Amino acid sequence: MIKILIVDDSISVRQFFTEFFSREPDFEVVGCAEDGESALRMVRKLKPDVVTMDVNLPDYDGFVVTRLIMEQNPVPIVIISAVYSASDAELGFKMLDTGALAFHNKPAINDTFFNEKMAEIIMSVRLMSEVKVVRRRIKLKKKDALSLPEVPDVVEYKGKNTAAKIVCIGASTGGPQAVKQVLLSLPNNFNVPVLIVQHISTGFLEGMVNWLRENTGHNVKVVAQNEILQAGVIYFAPEDHHIQISSKRRVSLSEGPAVNGICPTIAELFSSAAENLGDRVVGVLLTGMGRDGADGLLDIRRKGGYTIAQDKETSIIFGMPGEAVKLGAAVSVLPLEKIGEDISRYVLESYGEER
């Protein structure tokens, strides 16, 4: 039985979540907290397996409460909060820095996809309850990244390696933290563009982009229709749009429909990159539920591109990378802390430079 503590300042929301989680045979709601002080006390006393956390509380904000819980009585925390602005979302991402594992936008009862969104939240809380958390996290410093020499945008073949033209990254559950660590490992003068598809609740993307720009030192932005990707820029696929990349690194966006409830899909980006850029692609599949991107990563490998999957030990959820490993899609299976360095090494060597 999964013991869950619900933290929210709204009595109606607490009652509502209690009802929904109590319907699940494997959940037991052991308590509800209306403010941060109550949450801290209940975590100590009730020892829940997982906590759902609101961002805005009457005494402390969720950032402070999450930090204190992770310092004193570590427990998996899932943020469930209404997002009204990018600043709300940014606070949620700062909570990830203190140890929260995942976040979801609180669905409105009149939302057309309300039941689907609640099912996604319940599944996420169930999965996060199994994650082992620790009191402190080691943060990678920007100075630890490799430094790459300046090279021309287009170069000739160097031995057996073809000059890399793009890095494509896919991530889902646990992805924001993983993407952040990868970007911290990349040098500021990185020679190729990076294009990322992150499965994320609607309303959070702008906050994530701002958070990563502030914390990684990279130029991070949401990509636009027909934009030609430039070296040294980190691009994110926009919400609710599938994305493809041409042989000239020009972006094509299309609105839905969702595939297995997902839009954008990692698969569409990976497959188009494989088809149009072949062995000039570095494909990376990070932590996440399901199998989106596994077949696309295999497409990249079959075309001669370099492919990486995050390993089981460092993945919050080994679903997507695990499926890729089963398919033989990954040239390298690496712990998260090694992925950024490996991308840098491969790109550097593909341009014929010694490390």
**What is the spatial order of strands in the sheet that 77-81 belongs to?**
27-33, 2-7, 50-53, 77-81, 102-105
Active site residue 199: yes
Both structure tokens of 262: 């997902």
Nearest to 33 by CA among 3, 2, 54: 54
Query: DSSP class of residue 344?
Result: H
Helices and strands, counts by H and E, the chain: 11, 14
Nearest to 2 by CA among 74, 51, 62: 51
Nearest to 189 by CA among 229, 220, 224, 146: 146
Query: Which residue of the set 81, 124, 129, 172 is catalytic?
Result: 172
Residue 160, CA distances (Å) to 137, 156, 163, 297, 298 in order: 39, 11, 10, 21, 20
Query: DSSP class of residue 210?
Result: H
- Report the Cα 191 to chain-centroid distance in Å: 23
Query: DSSP class of residue 319?
Result: H
Active site residue 241: no
Look up residue 245 and give its amino acid: I
Whole-angstrom Cα distance, residue 197 to residue 238?
8
Nearest to 306 by CA among 270, 331, 326, 324: 331
Whole-angstrom Cα distance, residue 53 to residue 33?
9
The contacts of residue 117 (CB under 8 Å, 6+ apart) are 104, 105, 107, 111
Task: Tell me the Cα Rg of the chain.
Answer: 21
Query: Which residue of the set 49, 54, 292, 342 is catalytic?
Result: 292
Active site residue 97: no
Query: Which residue of the set 49, 54, 124, 199 is catalytic?
Result: 199
Catalytic residues, by residue number, are 172, 199, 292
